[in-house]
């Protein structure tokens, strides 16, 4: 089923215009629920709004569809025209009452008559979206730092969280598809180090420990693992393997920057 997007911009009292997207599905208009709630000035969550629609109109008046956004394809909750009317008509905000009149006097008649709605987007509406994304990014960036994230991981995590909340991918808007690694070195595992030092794999960890780069530890199940020393943190990083132990704890792996080879060769000799 193809989805034709017909956006319109609802002017607010402060001069800012809020975008509300209408999706034409089989000739019928469906409204993006989050857009409606924001334009109404409502503090109602999408979950509570859907519950209200179900209680007032029954099932079948909402759906979740994939929609192309600035930040890529997202699953968006849309509501049918009766549900949109139900929500805005029950709004106790002045913005909601204005939106109700705007939709039924201007938007829907135009869509039914011409198949589209002519709109002139206000630059302010675009600016406020980016400002909201900027505020969200700064918030998640601070949280990431508290969690110990650094460098590119910190930036990418904050950007991804911002995208989930606002639908705006700030890095993509800046045409930034790749981040330059803070340290321009390849990462090596123990077998790579063994190959470059021309030694056996089992000899590498004792060598790393003797150089003061890591220490051997045992977990509560007596499983062997290694921890980086302060010196080792200059050459190695912890990475999540994506695997988990039987008790659910994540499996981490230490990888080493290529500069470790020269350091070990020097320390050995």
Write the pLDDT tens digit of every residue in 73-95.
678 889 988 888 888 888 877 77
DSSP category for residue 222: -
Structure tokens at 132: 């909201």
Backbone CA torsion sign across 195, 196, 198, 202: negative
Per-residue pLDDT, 195: 94
pLDDT in tens, 1-20: 456 666 666 665 555 567 77
- Mean pLDDT, the chain, as a whole number? 79
CA distance 36 to 84: 8
The 3-state DSSP class for residue 184 equals: coil
11: how many CB neighbours lie within 10 A of its CB?
15
Average of pLDDT values for 176-197?
A: 76
Say if residues 70 and 169 touch (Cβ distance below 8 Å): yes
The 3-state DSSP class for residue 188 equals: strand
Per-residue pLDDT, 190: 92
DSSP category for residue 201: G
pLDDT in tens, 136-150: 899 999 998 888 887
Say if residues 104 and 85 touch (Cβ distance below 8 Å): yes
Q: Among all chains, which residue has been given the structure tokens 């977990």?
A: 219
Longest dimension (CA), the chain: 85
Closest listed residue to residue 267, CA positions, set 182, 206, 207, 223: 207
Per-residue pLDDT, 113: 65
User: Whole-prediction pTM value?
Assistant: 0.42
Inter-CA distances, 196 with 101, 183, 237, Å: 73, 20, 19
pLDDT in tens, 12-68: 555 556 777 888 887 788 888 888 888 888 888 889 989 999 988 988 888 888 876
35: how many CB neighbours lie within 10 A of its CB?
19
Per-residue pLDDT, 69: 61
Average of pLDDT values for 247-258?
A: 79
Structure tokens at 128: 């406020």
Closest listed residue to residue 69, CA positions, set 163, 135, 194, 181: 163
Say if residues 144 and 157 touch (Cβ distance below 8 Å): yes
The structural domains of the chain, ordered by start, are 4-119 (3.10.260), 125-173 (no CATH), 187-268 (no CATH)
Distance, C-alpha 96 to centroid of its chain? 29
CA distance 125 to 154: 28
Selected residue with higher pLDDT from 65 and 243: 65
């Amino acid at each position: 089923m193809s989805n034709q997007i017909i956006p319109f911009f609802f002017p607010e009292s402060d001069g800012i215009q809020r975008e509300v997207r209408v999706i034409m599905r089989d000739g019928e208009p469906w409204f993006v629920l989050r857009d409606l709630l924001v334009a109404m000035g409502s503090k109602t969550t999408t979950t509570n709004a859907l519950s209200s629609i179900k209680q007032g109109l029954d099932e079948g008046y909402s759906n979740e569809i994939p929609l192309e956004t600035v930040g890529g394809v997202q699953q968006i909750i849309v509501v049918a025209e009766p549900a949109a009317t139900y929500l805005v008509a029950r709004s106790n905000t002045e913005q909601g009452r204005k939106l109700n009149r705007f939709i039924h006097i201007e938007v829907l008649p135009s869509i039914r008559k011409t198949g589209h709605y002519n709109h002139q987007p206000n630059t302010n509406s675009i600016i406020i979206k980016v400002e909201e994304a900027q505020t969200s990014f700064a918030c998640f960036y601070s949280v990431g730092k508290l969690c110990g994230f650094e460098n590119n991981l910190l930036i990418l995590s904050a950007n991804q969280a911002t995208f989930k909340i606002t639908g705006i991918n700030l890095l993509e808007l800046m045409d930034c598809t790749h981040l330059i690694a803070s340290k321009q070195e390849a990462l090596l595992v123990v077998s790579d180090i063994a190959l470059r030092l021309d030694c056996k794999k089992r000899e590498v960890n004792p060598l790393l420990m003797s150089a003061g780069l890591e220490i051997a530890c045992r977990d509560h199940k007596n499983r062997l693992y290694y921890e980086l020393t302060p010196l080792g943190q200059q050459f190695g990083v912890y990475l999540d393997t994506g695997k988990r132990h039987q008790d659910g704890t994540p499996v981490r792996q230490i990888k080493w920057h290529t500069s470790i080879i020269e350091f070990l060769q020097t320390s050995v000799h």
